[in-house]
Amino acid sequence: MGKKGVEALSPAQNVAVGMSAGLIEIVALQPMLYCKNATQQNLPLTLKPSVLYRGVTMSAVNMSIITGAQFPLTGIISKVISGGGRPLTESESLIAAFSGGVASAFLCSPMEMVMIQQQRFGGSLLSTPSRIASVAGVSTFSRGLLPTMGREGLFTMGYMALGPVVSKKITEQTGVTGFAATFSGCSLAGIFAATLSHPLDTIKTCVQGDIEQTTYKGLQHTTKTLLAEGGPKRFFKGWGWRTARMILAVFIIGQVKEQLAPVMFPDVFSDDETEIVD
């Protein structure tokens, strides 16, 4: 029987599957992302599509590249852990997914800054990076990197590893299978990942939205400022938007990975040995 799973795909194959998943997810859920970012920064919400979809191109580029990167990164780490000769245990899958997410933050953090600045002030995909560099310097693109690393690790662990693990447990303990088990597992994984990582995401969003450092300076100063603004609950502003979006994102990306990968690369998921019956 051939190997099946993310560790069985080549890096190029993982990129193709990951980019498809990221593009589908971002187009569907961009308005929720805008509302989440605006709420975290105490900005007013809007129903105007032209505003809700500000930064969607950068968001699509970001998500397709990052999701595409997280799949092969996790696949490579999986092969290192397992030696390429056995399936990963559940705990090993979580470690591999978390590590892949952390590594991908170096790519996604600068791109998310551009998107957040577009959401706040408008501007094109080309003009916004130039404005950021002229206003605050090139080094500003590293603002928010550390909280992004933690957030991406938890999120990747949720949609790539924890969702399938929880779905499997639900099936084993309740007998529920198919769509119901998958959606329940992905929803629980999404809630867990969103709740655990949301304070990091709030810090990241605030520092990247305020590149002039008018209100939010370094990470320590931002943490103290947010606490002064509303106590611990201030870190959870936008949690509802992010939780709903993450549940849907975990489900969409997980389903695309599960359903599309065997279609795109059937040879990887087919049996490499055929039993001959006399």
CB neighbours of residue 44 within 10 Å: 6
pLDDT at residue 1 is higher than 50: no
The band of 118, judged by pLDDT with boundaries at 50, 70 and 90, is very high
Q: In this predicted model, what pLDDT tens digit does every residue of 3-37 receive, in sequence order?
A: 455 557 787 787 788 777 777 788 889 999 999 99
Torsion over CA: 179, 190, 262, 268 (sign)? negative
* CA atoms of 94 and 82, how far apart (whole Å): 13
Please tell me the predicted confidence (pLDDT) of residue 154: 86
The structure's pTM equals 0.78
Terminal C-alpha separation, the chain: 20
* CA atoms of 199 and 132, how far apart (whole Å): 25
Cα angle 261, 262, 268 (rounded to 5 degrees) comes to: 100
Contact call for residues 31 and 24 (beta carbons, < 8 A): no
Please tell me the predicted confidence (pLDDT) of residue 235: 97
Rounded to the nearest 10 degrees, what angle do helices 127-136 and 90-121 cross at? 90
1's tokens: 């029987």
Please tell me the predicted confidence (pLDDT) of residue 2: 41
Distance of CA 103 to the CA centre of its chain: 12
Cα angle 52, 182, 270 (rounded to 5 degrees) comes to: 110
The band of 271, judged by pLDDT with boundaries at 50, 70 and 90, is low
The band of 80, judged by pLDDT with boundaries at 50, 70 and 90, is confident
* CA atoms of 241 and 31, how far apart (whole Å): 10
* CA atoms of 74 and 98, how far apart (whole Å): 8
Q: In this predicted model, what pLDDT tens digit does every residue of 187-241 receive, in sequence order?
A: 888 788 888 999 999 999 999 999 999 999 999 999 999 999 999 999 999 999 9
Q: Which of the residue ranges 13-22, 43-52, 178-187 would you say has the lowest mean pLDDT?
A: 13-22
Q: In this predicted model, what pLDDT tens digit does every residue of 128-167 receive, in sequence order?
A: 999 999 999 999 999 999 999 999 888 788 777 788 888 8
